[in-house]
Structure formats: C-alpha cells, structure tokens
Structure 1
Amino acid sequence: MKTCYRLLLVDDHTLIRKGLRLLMASWEGFEVVGEASNGQEAIELALELRPNIVLMDIYMPRMNGLEATRRLKALLPEVKVVILTVADDDEAFRAALEVGAEGYLLKTVEPQHLYYLLQEVARGEVPLAAALTKKILPQLKATEKSDPLSPREKEVLTLVAQGLSNREIAGRLFLSENTVKNHLRSILEKLQTKNRQQAVHYALQQGLVKLKE
C-alpha cells in the first residue's frame, strides 16, 4: 500500500485554497485534509488533523505565515512546512528558512512542478525557489571569501564540536531541531565536508570556531 501524505492548505484567499484543493484532488500520494485562512487557525488545525505537510502563505491576518511556521515547528517538529507565497524578496526567503520551513516556493510555480516539489519534501529534501537562490547565491559567495560561516552557524558548529546532539543544540539556542538541521546542511555545503565530524575538524583547523578552555 502506497503512503498517502496529508496536506493542510493555509492561505487567506479562499480562491487560492479552493484552487489548490481542486488541483490536488487528482494527485497520487497526497490528500488535502484541511484548510486554514490565517496562521492561528493553521496551528489549531495542525494540532487537530496532524498533517504531514503544511503549505503556508506568508501574508495573512491574525498571524502571518512565518510566525505560524515558527510556532508550528516548535509544537509539531515532525510536520514539514512549505512556504507558498508571492514574496520573491530575499529577506522573506531567509526568514522562512530561519523559522524552520522545509521549502520556499513562489505562487508562479507550475502545477506539475509543485507536485514534484512536494514529493521532494515528502522524501526529506528542501525545495527552494530557483529565482531567489540565483539572486542570493552571489551574495553568499561574496561573504564566503573572507569568512564562510555566519555567526549562527558558528554557534551551531561550536556546540557540535562540544558533542551536543541536534536536539540539545536546538534547546541551547532556542531554535527548532529542523532549523539546526538546516544550519548543519548549510555548514557542510559551505565547508565542502561530508559529515559533521569533518566539518568540526576543518573549522577548528582553520580557526573558524574555537573550543572554550
């Protein structure tokens, strides 16, 4: 029997929600189990319905999608949140990843592409809007020349070097466990290392992080 992933749609526009529900009705492996019109309602429904994936808009009344994602990941860390928005600015993009979203997609995405991207999310991958990654990548490369790791990434890697688990790091830094995983994924990519042990060894060798005496 094939796995069927439960979807919760969150958008303050009824037309968008109904359109997505109609579109997804024919998707194999996915089932829309609920709809919410704001962030607060999304959290309440997620606690009740326990979806596998939440498709979340950003700009909504009562509670925006970023704050809703932050709270939802704290309450239900196993639920995967994908931002689906018109916001194509890098500030919102970075904020979404910081609060623990597993993906960031623009509403201009083609329906069939959305289907494939949600399959990636179900497999544990992190799909991102191509237009935004292309815009942000040069900025990252420019900063990486002098110091590849952000202050937060250094904090995470320092705690890894001290032997803390992802869950312990999340508790120490007041982050979701998924956000810690995102930081570690970014660290491995920036340092071009295969695992956390290699990353720690390289960072200590290069003086990027230091262990307290």
Structure 2
Amino acid sequence: MSENPETRGAAAVPRQAAAGDSAASGEADPIRVLIVDDHALFRRGLEMVLQSEPDIEVIGEGGDGHEAVQMAGDLLPDVVLMDIRMPRRSGIEACTAIKEAAPSAKIVMLTISDEEEDLFEAIKAGASGYLLKEISIDEVPQAVRAVHGGQSLISPSMASKLITEFASLAKRSEERTQQVPAPRLTEREMEVLRLVARGLGNREIAKELFISENTVKNHVRNILEKLQLHSRMEAVVYAVREKLLEIT
C-alpha cells in the first residue's frame, strides 16, 4: 500500500465533502481526525476503529511531523492523534507548528514514551492530551470525543508524574522571595478556572455555574489570554502554582 502523503491527502477530499452534505441535511458534523504515526500498521488500526464510529471521520494520515504540519494546515482537523518519536520532525515540534497552522485543532499525543520530559514539553507545546499506546485501541474514539468536547486527557500512569510536578511547582513558588504579581482575573473567571482545574469540560462547567456553554468558552479564552497560556492543561498548572487547586 502506497505511503505517498499526496495520495493520503487526496483520499480525504470525498469524505470532507460528505461531512458538508450531512451538515446541509441538519445532522451534526462528524469529528474530523488526522492520524500521524510513523508505523503504517498502527495508523491503519486506528483508522479502522475510528471510521466505524458514525460521529468520527478520519480525513487524512501522515507518517512524520513534517507531514503533520502540512496536512493540518490544509485539512484543518478537529483532532490530531500524533506520535512523539517520528522522523524528520518530532511530534512535539509539530504540535507547536500545528497550533499556529490550525489553532482550533485539539492535539492528543499517542505514544509509547513515558518520559516526564516528553509529557511536560507536550503540554507546553499546546497538547490537550497525552495517552500511552498501552491503552486499548477501543478507548481511542471516546478519547477523541472527550478532547473535542474540551477535556484534557492524560494516561493514569503519566498523571501521577504530572501531579508530582505540580506539587513541586507549588513548593518552589512558595520559596520564591520575589514574585511577579499574577494577572487579575474576575471572580467569575476564577470560578471557571477552579472547575477547569478539577477536570470539568465546558458543558459540565456551564451546568455547575448555570451559564451557557458559549459563555464558558469565552471565559476560558479570556483566562488563557490574560495568563498568556496556550491550553487548559497549562491553566491547571497555573491553578496549582497559585494554590487555586489543592494537591492531596
């Protein structure tokens, strides 16, 4: 089977047109997913599982970080499932570039790497999820839906490492003798930030605060802009550092 990226991109066009047809008929558009991994068999397995879901559409595949950036800019996916260790350009480098080329795309690192440094760098690059390939492939569709819905996902074994780092950040913050004043958030923005830090998605936050989901999205966007952050996950790190979220 050919691995020509142009062929993969071309194959995505009919499916993209089909998504438009379903929107015209009043149906919800499927979640458009780009798969990037240097192992063709793994890509095929993901594609088979995701294409069997009625609300998910695989719009393209790439074999390295360079292809990922180019295809993301051309296809504007909703979700990118991407490995970290890839030729030509790593997944983390590609993540930063994809956030510029397709700002609305949610990126999930799907990798065998359980290195803390990779996890932290992925978060800083704007990834919304970090999942190890040890998860069941049948869990991937739900992960796609969760990230598309505004949640952040981390494999449990990696989450413990992240919590440890959060606690370390909070401790170092305490020990600083001089601190730059934190940007001022409104009372409502603080409420939203605390709920984001608890792992709630936009819909859940809206129900909790009795406001619309669009209002929640606006608050989250304002919070990220004020704090000069790139993702909800970075906002959680900030919340821990500023002691808005307690580590138990």
TM-score, normalisation: structure 2: 0.65
1:119 alignment counterpart: 145
* Counterpart secondary structure, 1:58: coil
Q: Structure 1 counterpart of 2:118, which letter?
A: A
Shift of 1:187: 2.2
1:24-51 residue CA offsets vs partner (Å, 9 max, x unmatched): 1211311000000111111111111111
Q: Give the alignment's Cα RMSD to 1 decimal.
A: 2.8
**2:90 is aligned with 1:38:** no
Distance 2:132 2:152 in 1: 14
Q: Structure 2 counterpart of 1:178, which letter?
A: H
Shift of 1:165: 6.6
1:136-162 residue CA offsets vs partner (Å, 9 max, x unmatched): 423433553453699xxx77x73x239
1:67 alignment counterpart: 93
How much identity, in percent, do the aligned residues show? 29
Distance 2:168 2:225 in 1: 31
Contact residue 49 and residue 138 of structure 2 kept, 8 A: no
Distance 1:148 1:139 in 2: 14
**2:188 is aligned with 1:137:** no
1:161 alignment counterpart: 184
Shift of 1:169: 5.7
Q: Structure 1 counterpart of 2:230, which letter?
A: N
**2:230 is aligned with 1:178:** yes
Contact residue 33 and residue 78 of structure 2 kept, 8 A: yes
- Structure 1 residues 89 and 33, CA, compared in 2 at 3 Å: closer, same or farther? same
1:97 alignment counterpart: 123
Contact residue 84 and residue 111 of structure 2 kept, 8 A: yes
Shift of 1:18: 1.0
Q: Structure 2 counterpart of 1:183, which letter?
A: E
1:12 alignment counterpart: 38
Contact residue 148 and residue 191 of structure 1 kept, 8 A: no
Question: Runs of 5+ in structure 1 lacking a partner?
Answer: 171-176, 195-213
TM-score, normalisation: structure 1: 0.75
Distance 1:66 1:110 in 2: 23
Distance 2:122 2:72 in 1: 18
Question: Runs of 5+ in structure 2 lacking a partner?
Answer: 1-26, 187-221
* Counterpart secondary structure, 1:31: strand
Which of 54, 70, 76 aligns to 2:80? It is: 54
Shift of 1:66: 0.4
Shift of 1:60: 0.8
Distance 1:146 1:165 in 2: 23
Contact residue 40 and residue 68 of structure 1 kept, 8 A: yes
Q: Structure 2 counterpart of 1:188, which letter?
A: A
Contact residue 166 and residue 237 of structure 2 kept, 8 A: no
